[in-house]
């Protein structure tokens, strides 16, 4: 005989189970896109509902109306222009309007400019923004192996926020303490959202997206000739791969035939794009963000006194191509891809 209380508990349990199934499963129809040779299971699955949410999160702001050329360079009209020197002075103001909308729509011009003195290099935001202009131009001119014709603007990362939503810092002492394995500096053994809620090393970024730690771990032969990669190094690689999959909203099969993760022959061009992406992010962090450390106020720095840095999610934000491959830079070629 089952008691009344037990029956209630069973009914509640079943209802909860049903609720979990219905709220976490994707509903048909499932669409699948083939990424590799047939029969290898290299397919990307998607649900219309999820795609709708992604589309809604990637609506572009309208481009600023075209400017009437003044015929004068901005460096001739203004006092302290160092990057956009050769730009027509009216187009220069159009870019200022766009940058305001992309980075500080709430705060306006005053976010980067001292009241009454636009030429002054205070506040710190202006110095950062000038370096960001150089970084964006560098990306569009020299990293077409990754960003292609699509390119990037400030909006790709900032999306209307002074601080981009997806950034990373060196792991904090708290996250190190949370690990029972004696505080591994990479924060392993506690589930972390940076690696898809697995207990892999929680901060693969410092090693792979700032440092040049080798990512390839599989030997060339069944019995490796040399010492080979350690298990620890392999875990680091998997942590990075979880981040990359998560940041792009894809699974491993977008880039790998999982029967041979190391093989470059068995997957298409997408993995090569990712290879360039890794090198690009390393350079952005090393050449642009880290040298700005002393420019930022302490309140913007992490526990270890380090500057906010870039990973794949900073631009991608859950889409295989940032902003679903829509190009904004084509409306700002004179300034951002000169």
Footprint (CB under 6 A) of ligand HEC, residues 282-321: 284, 289, 300, 308, 310, 312, 314-316, 320-321
Distance CA 272, CA 281 (A): 14
Q: Which stretch in 10-18, 50-58, 177-185, 273-281 sits in contact with ligand HEC by CB under 6 A?
A: 273-281
The distance of closest approach from Cβ of residue 22 to ligand HEC in the complex, given in angstroms and rounded to an integer, is 27
Q: Does 241 bind ligand HEC (CB under 6 A)?
A: yes
Indicate which single residue of 42, 154, 195, 328 sits in contact with ligand HEC (rule: CB under 6 A): 154
**Size of the residue set binding ligand HEC (CB under 6 A):** 80
Indicate which single residue of 42, 140, 157, 188 sits in contact with ligand HEC (rule: CB under 6 A): 157
CB 78 within 8 A of CB 118: yes
CB 200 within 8 A of CB 238: yes
Q: Choose between 137 and 183: whose C-beta lies nearer to ligand HEC.
A: 137
CB neighbours of 217 closer than 8 A, spacing ≥ 6?
228, 229, 233, 234, 237
Q: Does 100 bind ligand HEC (CB under 6 A)?
A: yes
Q: Does 203 bind ligand HEC (CB under 6 A)?
A: no
The distance of closest approach from Cβ of residue 28 to ligand HEC in the complex, given in angstroms and rounded to an integer, is 24
Q: Does 210 bind ligand HEC (CB under 6 A)?
A: no
Q: What count of other Cβ atoms lies within 10 Å of the Cβ of residue 204?
A: 27
Peptide bond connecting 123 to the previous residue in cis, omega within 30 degrees of 0: yes
Q: Does 158 bind ligand HEC (CB under 6 A)?
A: yes
Distance CA 314, CA 50 (A): 20
Indicate which single residue of 42, 202, 248, 328 sits in contact with ligand HEC (rule: CB under 6 A): 248
**∠ CA(49), CA(52), CA(55), 5° rounding?**
155
Q: What is the b/e burial string over 24-55, where b = at least 16 CB atoms within 10 angstroms of the residue's CB?
A: eeeeeeeeeeebbeeebebbbebeeeeeeebe
Q: Does 73 bind ligand HEC (CB under 6 A)?
A: no
Q: Does 262 bind ligand HEC (CB under 6 A)?
A: yes
């Amino acid at each position: 005989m089952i008691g009344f209380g037990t029956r209630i508990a069973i009914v509640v349990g079943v209802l909860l189970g049903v609720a979990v199934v219905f709220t976490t499963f994707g509903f048909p129809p499932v669409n699948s896109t083939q990424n590799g040779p047939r029969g290898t299971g290299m397919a990307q699955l998607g649900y219309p509902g999820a795609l709708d949410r992604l589309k809604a999160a990637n609506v572009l702001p309208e481009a600023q109306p075209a400017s009437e050329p003044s015929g004068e360079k901005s460096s001739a009209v203004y006092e302290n222009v160092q990057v956009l020197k050769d730009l027509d002075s009216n187009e220069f103001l159009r870019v200022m309007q766009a940058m305001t909308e992309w980075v500080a729509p709430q705060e306006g011009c005053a976010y980067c400019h001292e009241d009454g003195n636009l030429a002054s290099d205070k506040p710190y935001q202006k110095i950062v923004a000038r370096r960001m202009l150089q970084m964006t131009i560098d990306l569009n001119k020299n990293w077409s192996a990754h960003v292609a014709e699509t390119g990037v603007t400030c909006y790709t990362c900032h999306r209307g926020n002074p601080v981009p939503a997806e950034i990373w810092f060196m792991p904090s002492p708290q996250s190190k303490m949370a690990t029972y394995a004696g505080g591994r500096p990479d924060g392993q053994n506690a589930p972390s959202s940076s690696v898809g809620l697995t207990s892999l090393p929680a901060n693969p970024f410092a090693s792979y997206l700032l440092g040049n730690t080798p990512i390839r771990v599989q030997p060339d032969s069944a019995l490796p000739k040399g010492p080979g990669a350690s298990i620890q190094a392999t875990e680091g690689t998997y942590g990075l791969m979880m981040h990359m999959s998560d940041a792009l909203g894809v699974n491993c099969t977008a880039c790998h035939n999982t029967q041979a993760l190391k093989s470059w022959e068995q997957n298409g061009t997408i993995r090569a794009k990712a290879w360039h992406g890794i090198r690009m992010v390393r350079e952005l962090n090393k050449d642009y963000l880290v040298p700005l450390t002393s420019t930022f106020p302490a309140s913007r720095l992490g526990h270890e006194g380090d500057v906010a840095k870039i990973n794949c999610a900073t631009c991608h934000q859950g889409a295989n191509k940032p902003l679903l491959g829509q190009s904004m830079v084509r409306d700002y070629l004179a300034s951002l891809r000169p």
